[in-house]
Amino acid sequence: MPGEFQLIQQFFQREQAEQPAAGVLLGIGDDCALLQIPDGKQLAVSVDTLVSGVHFPADAAPDHIAERALRTNLSDLAAMGADPLWFTLALTLPEANEDWLRSFSRGLFACARTYGIALVGGDTTSGPLSITIQVMGAVAPGRAMRRDGANIGDFILVTHSLGDGAAALAAIQGRITCDESAIEYLHERFYRPVPRLRESALVREFASAALDISDGLVADLQHICDASDVGAIIDVETLPLSPAVQALQNQAQALEWALSGGDDYELCFTVAPEKMADIAMLIAQGELVATVIGEIVPGNKVICEYEGEPFALANTGYQHF
Ligand code: ADP
Ligand code: MG
């Protein structure tokens, strides 16, 4: 069995060395990486851990696990309005299985290439399988989409569709049945969620606040309300649902998933009324896929309404503890 250093070299250092990376003065191999932040930019940093059996099934394909880990981290950069630069990887492995590592590395670097982010360091330890990725990105001063910028009267929008993450998990666990094309779509959405970096670059000039939806729309929008000291109304009938979710037997369940399912990794952002014309133009031109789903109002809570009537929710979001 190869030693730790050989593993790092074979599956991470060598792979990364084949890809040019801007700003990396010194990458994998020394005590620290040395990185040059682009001129005039601020550094945005975020870290997330994925634990086997909690954030992904223990027997999931290693390339899927790697892709999901990096993509969900990239989603945080998108939510902040930052462009990807570099990442580090802390890997805890139960055993040094070369086949597993080869597949993991393939998935990781396929994703890294797609989104132009470079691996600059990490840590490798032995223990129950877990993957921690820290991403770093660049954002222009004053351009970051923070959670504390929403104002009363702002429109609330989300990108693409909601509820796919929860529907995918239900499909994977055999709790729902769908046709083959829907299954394929939901699998892709679950294992390879698209970090909304393109959308982020379009809206960051106009958005007053933003985040990515990982725990469910209601739970995550509440974070914007708390940080901005405002309330929000969601018009449930406007929630964008994918054809796969629209086709589900139980439409009440579908709405529930769209509101509180989690794992969607769409952007939720707020826009002041005077800036809505710019956003509407991007949508009309087909540049941006986003839907107005509600409004920021006085108060401190997220309220759901269906055609003007209160809409009760059984479950408001995934909580780890
Ligand atoms: P140290 O003992 O100084 O922490 P390590 O042996 O942990 O050094 O790591 C040696 C080098 O390999 C460092 O540059 C580190 O960033 C890199 N590294 C370790 N594990 C990984 C990994 N899983 N992915 C990428 N780089 C890694
Ligand atoms: Mg170390």
Which of the four pLDDT bands, split at 50, 70 and 90, describes residue 315? low
Sheet of strand 83-93, all strands in order from the earlier edge strand to the far edge: 42-51, 130-139, 83-93, 118-126
Q: What is the pLDDT of residue 320?
A: 44
Spell out a b/e string for 182-212, using b for 16 or more CB atoms within 10 Å of the CB, else e: bbebbeebbbbbbbbbebbebbbebbbbbbb
Compute the distance from residue 8 Cα to the ligand 2 centre, in Å: 11
Spell out a b/e string for 87-96, using b for 16 or more CB atoms within 10 Å of the CB, else e: bbbbbbbeee
Q: Is the pLDDT of residue 251 over 80?
A: yes
Q: How far apart are CA 191 and CA 78, in angstroms?
A: 18
Percent of the chain with pLDDT over 90: 84
pLDDT digits (tens, 9 = 90+) for 14-31: 888 888 799 999 999 999
pLDDT digits (tens, 9 = 90+) for 118-140: 999 999 999 999 999 999 999 99
Contact between 239 and 255 under an 8 Å Cβ cutoff? The reply is: yes
pLDDT digits (tens, 9 = 90+) for 169-218: 999 889 998 999 999 999 999 889 999 999 999 999 999 999 999 999 99
pLDDT digits (tens, 9 = 90+) for 138-171: 999 999 999 999 999 999 999 999 999 999 999 9
Ligand nearest to the CA of 133: 1
The arithmetic mean of pLDDT across residues 224-252, rounded, is 96
Compute the distance from residue 258 Cα to the ligand 1 centre, in Å: 40
Compute the distance from residue 321 Cα to the ligand 2 centre, in Å: 29
27 lines ligand 1 (CB under 6 A): no
Mean pLDDT (the chain) is 94
Q: Which residue's C-alpha comes closest to atom 10 of ligand 1?
A: 29
Compute the distance from residue 111 Cα to the ligand 1 centre, in Å: 20
104 lines ligand 1 (CB under 6 A): no
Q: Which residue's C-alpha comes closest to atom 27 of ligand 1?
A: 122
Q: What is the pLDDT of residue 4?
A: 74
101 lines ligand 1 (CB under 6 A): no
Compute the distance from residue 121 Cα to the ligand 2 centre, in Å: 9
Phi, psi of 74 (to 5 degrees): -60, -30
The arithmetic mean of pLDDT across residues 94-108, rounded, is 95
Which of the four pLDDT bands, split at 50, 70 and 90, describes residue 321? very low
Helix 180-191 × helix 164-172 angle, to 10°: 110
Q: Which residue's C-alpha comes closest to atom 1 of ligand 1?
A: 31
Contact between 110 and 18 under an 8 Å Cβ cutoff? The reply is: no
Ligand nearest to the CA of 119: 1
Ligand nearest to the CA of 96: 1
The string of DSSP codes covering 141-193 is TT----TT---TT-EEEEES-SSHHHHHHHHHTTSS---HHHHHHHHHHHHS-
